[in-house]
Amino acid sequence: MYQKKNRTKELARRTFVYTLMTLSLIILLTFLTFRMLGYTFDPNTKELQQTGLVQYESHPSGALVYVDDMELRRTPTKSTVLPGKHTFSMKLDKYEPWQKTLNIKSDTVTNLNYARLIPTKRETTEVKTFDSLQSVSLSPAGNFLMGFGVKDKTPINDNWRHPRHEQR
């Protein structure tokens, strides 16, 4: 009789543990499936919402990414963002900050891969100087520069090709 009670208790305990494990696994798999599909719980509205994926890249890379003034990670990176209007910014030492406001839609991928960070200290170098230049014309493609001037009272025409377009 004592053994039958223990056996019944053990069977009830095992059934309870296996049921609890099965339910936990089902809940975990459901949660992970929703998470992989881009759903998240919005604490403000207390609703389950589908997010949008935003991928970040900057030139140069390594900039800190901020979404609505909350710091994320360094570029290149990606994050899920709730739908709506958000302000994205990227900051890197010795570069001017970059900022953009976008309306993110759910179930979409938005690429912020066009952020070009400009150095705070820009140095310029002189490519070529022209004496007594009166007017300058630039070709439509931007690869030729034509200058008109007067030297010793005779008109001169100085055609100059940008160094990056010169043929080697």
Q: What is the pLDDT of residues 46-85, one digit of tens each?
A: 888 888 889 999 999 999 999 998 888 898 998 888 888 9
pLDDT digits (tens, 9 = 90+) for 15-35: 999 999 999 999 999 888 887
This prediction has a pTM of 0.57
Burial class (CB in 10 A: 0-12, 13-18, 19+), 90: buried
Radius of gyration (C-alpha) of the chain in whole angstroms:
32
Q: What is the pLDDT of residue 161?
A: 56
Q: How far is CA 102 from the centre of its chain?
A: 12
Distance in angstroms (rounded) separating the CA atoms of residues 108 and 54: 8
Instruction: Give the integer Cα–Cα distance in Å for 37 and 15.
Output: 33
Give the three-state DSSP class for 133: strand
Q: pLDDT by residue (tens digit) across 125-160?
A: 887 776 677 777 888 887 887 777 766 655 555 555
Q: Is 66 helix (H, G, I), strand (E, B) or coil?
A: strand
